[in-house]
Amino acid sequence: MIKSGDDFDVIVIGGGPGGAATAGLLAREGHRVLVLEREKFPRYHIGESLITGALPTLEDLGLLDRMDQLGFTKKYGGTLLWGKNNPPNAQRSEEPAEGAPGPETWGFRFAEASKYEHSYQVRRADFDALVLARARELGAQVLEETTFHAPVLDGDRVVGVTYGQRNGQERRTAKCRLLVDASGQAHVLGREFDCVQWHEDLRNIAVWSYLQGCKRYTAGNHAGDILTENRPDGWFWFIPLSDGTVSVGYVTPVERYKQSGMSLEELYESEMARTKEVSKLTDGAFRASGFRTIRDWSYTCTRFHGPGWAMVGDAAAFIDPLLSTGVTLAMRGAAGLFEAAHTALTEPDRELAVLARYEDDYRAFLDSLLDFVRFFYNKSFSKEDYWDKAQQTVDPEKVRSRQADFATVLSGLTGMREIFEAAADEPHAPAGG
């Protein structure tokens, strides 16, 4: 039981992947950590397709074996029907092998990029509950059904929070040396400090539901792939989950949706009927859920830290679902913020410097993804153009093939020198090296 006025080293707002990972890593070092989570877990969340950039943090938390035990779908890469009409792959026969992606598709394998051969497609309720349970196991105190209300300030320094528990009348306070905002798209500190900057060119809307009875690719290791298929005014995701359902969503600019004159559900059905690969895989399937929708998600906060506070994950920024980078940003952000916060707590004089360094690193990674997403949204390019752009982004000296660079960007491993270099060096490692 937390008593009003209790002291913590760190209070984390939000027990999603970003908050839970930050809390777990800090608690493991012996810091006193409190997580305030508005919902009762397990709770629904969108964002089911993980890329391998999320795995180093999950590995550090000791969660990869548990993810295997939970039986999440293994995702070895992505199949794309994207960009200027690609001629059928010359290495394939006219008719693709039974169960193989269609002749106009292309894609990437995670193994091209790094030591991680596969990632996972996850039901987020289960995945998020797993990470939050691990934070508890590592020593963080977690209060569910508990909502952060406001920071407590001493001058311009955050020194605590006020919060309330569901069904409780009493508003409580707790003190902390560092407040972490991991509240996702609620971005509570971004609103508090008025520093949310929206990306007008990415004002999109998504509508999705869950289907049963879909076909899956059976050739090679494509069964767990995310399929991303473009339409003239948007794109579809097809994410096969381990319980046999498939998450199928459509994303389009808000303006195009308004111009269509259709309801979102009508637009989804009518666009789906015009797809090639998605139609092939959903032929004969039926909807096993209602529709869900979300819009206007793309923003970056102009500051990720201040005296006594920092943001991580969607609370700091969210780009777009297109490259499935959200959970990876949250997990990589958590690893970076953990390092900075640990130093700030043990050497308080260095707080400003280490939080600034955290922000610079996180922003550089984010900006490179944002730049790539904007380029990728231009569907008039060919796959070679996307490969070239990836090479300019991560490998301007052209050390590796441009396909490997593309796989690196889509793995969310940009800027992770040790993983990138280890994979690049492997075939050329000197004897005994």
Given the rule CB under 6 A, which residues bind ligand FAD?
13-19, 36-39, 45-50, 147-148, 182-186, 188, 206, 294, 297, 313-315, 318, 321, 324, 326-328, 330
Enter the tokens of residue 244: 């046999």
The CA distance from 355 to 367, in Å, is 18
CA dist 50 and 120 (Å) reads 5
Distance CA 366, CA 79 (A): 23
Closer CB to ligand FAD, residue 14 or residue 83? Answer: 14
Residues near 119 by beta carbon (within 8 Å), at least 6 away in sequence: 50, 51, 52, 54, 55, 74, 75, 110, 411
Q: Is the dihedral of CA 14, 411, 211, 256 positive or negative?
A: positive
Q: How far is the CB of 12 from ligand FAD (least distance, A)?
A: 9
**Min dist. Cβ of residue 9 to ligand FAD (A):** 19
The CB-of-41 to ligand FAD minimum distance in angstroms stands at: 8
Shortest reach from residue 97's CB to ligand FAD, in Å = 27
Q: If DSSP codes are grouped into helix, strand and coil, which group holds residue 174?
A: strand
38 versus 134: smaller Cβ distance to ligand FAD = 38
Cβ nearer to ligand FAD, comparing 46 with 399 = 46
Nearest approach, Cβ of residue 127 and ligand FAD (Å): 10
Name which of 281 and 323 has its Cβ closer to ligand FAD: 323
The encoded tokens of residue 385 equal 């153009």
Residues 19, 34: Cα–Cα separation, whole Å: 10
The residue among 128 and 277 lying less far from ligand FAD, judged by its C-beta, is: 128
The first and second tokens of residue 262, run together, are 């259709």
Q: Which is nearer to ligand FAD, 16 or 102 (CB)?
A: 16
Residue 328 or 414: the one with the smaller Cβ distance to ligand FAD is 328
Closest CA to 174 of 199, 149, 197: 149
Q: Which is nearer to ligand FAD, 11 or 100 (CB)?
A: 11
- Cβ neighbour number for residue 161 with a 10 Å cutoff: 22
Minimum distance from residue 94 beta carbon to ligand FAD (Å): 33
Q: How far is the CB of 89 from ligand FAD (least distance, A)?
A: 25
Contacts of 249 (CB under 8 A, 6+ apart): 206, 207, 208, 209, 236, 237, 321
CA 366 to CA 302: how far, in whole Å? 13
Cα distance between residue 298 and residue 310, in whole Å:
19
| Residue 331, beta-bridge partner list | none
- CA distance linking residue 331 with residue 337, whole number of Å: 10
* Closer residue to ligand FAD, CB minimum distance, 150 or 219: 150
Looking at the Cβ atoms of 327 and 370, the one nearer to ligand FAD is 327
> Smallest distance, Å, CB 347 to ligand FAD?
27
Q: Which residue, 182 or 248, has its beta carbon nearer to ligand FAD?
A: 182
Instruction: Give CA–CA dist 4/252, Å, rounded.
Output: 46
Give the Cα separation of 409 and 392 in Å (integer): 11
- E runs forming strands in 104-245: 106-109, 119-121, 141-143, 146-154, 157-165, 171-181, 196-198, 204-212, 226-231, 234-240
